Structure 1
């Protein structure tokens, strides 16, 4: 019997525990292993390509994984249902199968960790559906791509319960290359939809963070928000020529820290109330960077748009007329260098404008609502606009906009204490910079995620260091960040066994603790960060013990 060891690294002790591992390579051997397994056991698929495999996972507390991540490929009518709690499902590829009107993955259980999975070129309904009875499901480092059929079924669907919030997280995933019968139309091929119109009054409290969306052309909505109190943060929406993020039915869509670049649009606020749009970057958008709908159903009300940077894009469309949005506040934004002739169109005249900087022809907006000056932005080496040392945006915010609400059990930056790249902002409003960033000469404005650091680790590009160590940015990933509770998870993905050192420092450069100092290769390890709220530094060092080559990097860690 093969032994498997789970390592939990904390600041105070390490604990190892053993479990039984079942090696499987067929439908029958999987079924037998599942029947014999108990909580804590592992079912491990041997590397290979398998057809027509249905995994109906009904035993709680087990792990189902590929022996080597990425080397187990399912096709034909293969699919999976997870009907139990506390399941880890990891390392598989579903490529080129055909399951007709079934879903590739269906999750009923709670506390499911679904990670490092690639689903591509499947004929199916949804790629992944999280049922309404599920809670605390995490989907991380997965790729969802190029579904073959195009009818009215979204790609990743989170259903919402009337009796309990879901608290799901979608992290570090990539969504790519979806088409539809009418690109950008209403074909229902949204990469992510949370809720449906009939359940929009219920709370989901789900978070989509650090995900990458490109060429999502199957529908006009990249993300369709149809539930209350969901957060969309630190994502990259790039090169989507027909679609945008859309806040539909369901109050309190919270959108911050995202990059919307080189596409059709940024955000369409379609329905409902209490939406928050802050700390976002909009550039190179050809149709509109922001749109407030004036529909008669679920009329827009109480919308805050603050600390965003809109640059080199088509006008912002406020849609005046019947049923125009009410109680809209635009505060401390930068509007500059429009690609079209005007910055705004169809302004209603009933918006509240506070502390905004504008450069360019205003269009229908009133000039008295702005500081009309060049914000002195410059493109950096990555091609993104950022404020310069003499910018009038620095320390120039104006108070008076609505206070961001606190929602129970939903963690977000409601005091705007961070900027788009997680630099600290002052707590005093008038000391904050206007726009999405807080000026810092040593920081570079650029997206947190791209095609190279999202999706399964085995599909990420590698950089040879003595032909052995993967690019450190890809080799170590950690989440969540910011962290509210005490646990932070590190994913290690290296070509060989390496010596990993992770140390925690305060901003004064004082070392607080060595979190990790051990040899690792691939794996997931959890650390407990028992410190007060604040900003810390994680210093990573990875050493190839064969060649004696090492590489290092430093990342900010926010403890809320």
Structure 2
């Protein structure tokens, strides 16, 4: 088979002007071809081989009703890449943009998406990558922007921004018709990396999340999603900026700044939440379900609840329960909450009063600092273990039992990046008790070693290896 590669120079400019394809045959090497019309783009996609790269010239394109079809492309790990000439330079508008089916190993990069309907990665696909795109769909109520139903999808270095209506920026879902009729299944292995989610101003109380991992009736299925190094700014469309409704996920090293929504493990079990910064917004971290681990998080300046250990309308969700019961909260059981710093939030550590109380939660090595109210305002709970926590400030101790904490000044210093870290001579240094889950480094990426400190920071004079994210760290132009 003969292959094509990119041709530069005056011939390229002429090709753009006429809407033709610019290419050069080069034998067996993978091809790069540049097109300047959607008809040529579709033709090149239809005949592309694994490893090919198709470049769409900058411009504004009205996508026909059927969309740009990517069907039957199988690369077994060798990606077909479809890319805008420059990042954000090719703008796609219309009802839809790319319509995928029965494909794997496809990368879509650098486009400005301005469509009206959902971009779906269907369940008959896998190993699809959306990278360095700009997502700002038509501001229509009830339209989720990107829905992932396939396994092994990567969504990285994109910008999702500026929405005023109900709907979610990014949803992890699952197949519409599972193979086993008795069991719904989640899309598995989603990676969400270095994206910028910004300015969702929907004023409602539900349905405006930035990310939703799953849905109530899929909550007991393992998704194995990893949401890491993303920046959320002014994500105010829902009390849940990151809503987890599936099991065995990881939410780490994200920054939520000035967001009404927080990180909420709404349904499901066994999720890790660590190394996140929640700064200056409303909601913090809220937990339901079983066997979660929450550590190395830094929460400061929140006007709402920093950490909620949830009670339930049911004890536990089980397979086959009625739909109404599937939507209920299940009590938080057997969570480990350790090495977190909650500093000067309006409400620090709180509970709820549903029928089923949380049970067997371990709270260890946390720093709680506030100047008013109560540091701990838990309702009914059973079998909680409190160890090695440090409390300080003008706020009352609250409902924390004696023996599970000390009240002393942790000697925190707030850095230029807003993070409260230990200073020399802090009583938190070397005072942590052992944990059942290994916490080998701290919020900044420094190793904890054998003598571990209380809170999210391990004292050192070395510069942080990780810091709160800024717009320069995420989005289409991030490294």
TM-score (norm 2): 0.83
After TM superposition, the runs of 4+ consecutive aligned structure 1 residues lying more than 6 A away are none
**Within 1, Cα distance between the matches of 2:355 and 2:128?**
46
Which sections of structure 2, spanning at least 5 residues, go unmatched? 8-27, 176-183, 315-329
Task: State the shift of 1:288 in Å.
Answer: 1.2
Aligned counterpart for 1:287 among listed residues 301, 304, 326: 304
Task: State the shift of 1:21 in Å.
Answer: 2.3
Tell me if structure 2 keeps the 8 A contact 1:210–1:448: no
**SS of the residue aligned with 2:455?**
coil
Match of 1:352 in 2: 385
Pick closer, same or farther for the CA change 1:114–1:165 going to 2, 3 Å. closer
The answer as to 2:226 corresponding to 1:207 is yes
Match of 2:452 in 1: 432
Tell me if structure 2 keeps the 8 A contact 1:48–1:71: yes
Tell me if structure 1 keeps the 8 A contact 2:230–2:474: yes
Match of 2:332 in 1: 300
**SS of the residue aligned with 2:29?**
strand
**SS of the residue aligned with 1:208?**
strand
**Within 2, Cα distance between the matches of 1:215 and 1:448?**
15
Pick closer, same or farther for the CA change 1:127–1:36 going to 2, 3 Å. same
Tell me if structure 2 keeps the 8 A contact 1:85–1:110: yes
Tell me if structure 2 keeps the 8 A contact 1:314–1:343: no
The answer as to 2:47 corresponding to 1:36 is yes
Task: State the shift of 1:239 in Å.
Answer: 0.1
Aligned counterpart for 1:129 among listed residues 127, 137, 147: 147
**Within 2, Cα distance between the matches of 1:121 and 1:47?**
19
**Within 2, Cα distance between the matches of 1:142 and 1:112?**
14
Aligned counterpart for 1:103 among listed residues 112, 118, 123: 118
Task: State the shift of 1:36 in Å.
Answer: 2.0
Task: State the shift of 1:249 in Å.
Answer: 1.3
The answer as to 2:350 corresponding to 1:317 is yes
- What is the 5 A alignment of 1:311-460? 311-315=343-347, 316-319=349-352, 322-336=355-369, 338-348=370-380, 350=382, 351-360=384-393, 361-399=396-434, 401=435, 403-404=436-437, 415-426=438-449, 428=450, 431-444=451-464, 447-457=467-477
> As a proportion of its length, which structure holds more strand?
1
Match of 2:89 in 1: 71
Deviations 1:443-465 (A, max 9, x none): 248734222211111xxxxxxxx
**Within 2, Cα distance between the matches of 1:105 and 1:455?**
20
The answer as to 2:283 corresponding to 1:244 is no
Tell me if structure 1 keeps the 8 A contact 2:358–2:381: no
Deviations 1:161-195 (A, max 9, x none): 6467611100000111112242xx12x11111111
Pick closer, same or farther for the CA change 1:36–1:321 going to 2, 3 Å. closer
Task: State the shift of 1:71 in Å.
Answer: 1.3
The answer as to 2:288 corresponding to 1:255 is no
Pick closer, same or farther for the CA change 1:75–1:362 going to 2, 3 Å. same
Aligned counterpart for 2:5 among listed residues 3, 17, 21: 3
Task: State the shift of 1:442 in Å.
Answer: 1.8
Tell me if structure 2 keeps the 8 A contact 1:385–1:445: no
Tell me if structure 1 keeps the 8 A contact 2:5–2:33: no
Task: State the shift of 1:104 in Å.
Answer: 3.2
TM-score (norm 1): 0.71
Match of 1:154 in 2: 168
Tell me if structure 1 keeps the 8 A contact 2:171–2:213: yes
Pick closer, same or farther for the CA change 1:181–1:442 going to 2, 3 Å. closer
**Within 2, Cα distance between the matches of 1:392 and 1:199?**
45
Residue range with higher mean Cα deviation, 196-205 or 61-70: 61-70
**SS of the residue aligned with 2:42?**
helix
Which sections of structure 1, spanning at least 5 residues, go unmatched? 6-16, 405-414, 458-473, 478-560
**SS of the residue aligned with 1:86?**
strand
- What is the 5 A alignment of 1:55-70? 55-58=68-71, 59-61=73-75, 62-70=80-88
Q: How many residues align?
A: 419
The answer as to 2:72 corresponding to 1:49 is no
**Within 1, Cα distance between the matches of 2:197 and 2:264?**
16
Pick closer, same or farther for the CA change 1:349–1:292 going to 2, 3 Å. closer
Task: State the shift of 1:320 in Å.
Answer: 5.3
**Within 1, Cα distance between the matches of 2:82 and 2:34?**
10
**Within 1, Cα distance between the matches of 2:41 and 2:378?**
60
The answer as to 2:167 corresponding to 1:177 is no
**SS of the residue aligned with 2:163?**
coil
Task: State the shift of 1:24 in Å.
Answer: 1.9
The answer as to 2:226 corresponding to 1:191 is no
Q: What is the root-mean-square deviation of aligned Cα atoms in Å? A: 2.1
Deviations 1:138-161 (A, max 9, x none): 11100111235x23x322111146
Tell me if structure 2 keeps the 8 A contact 1:89–1:115: yes
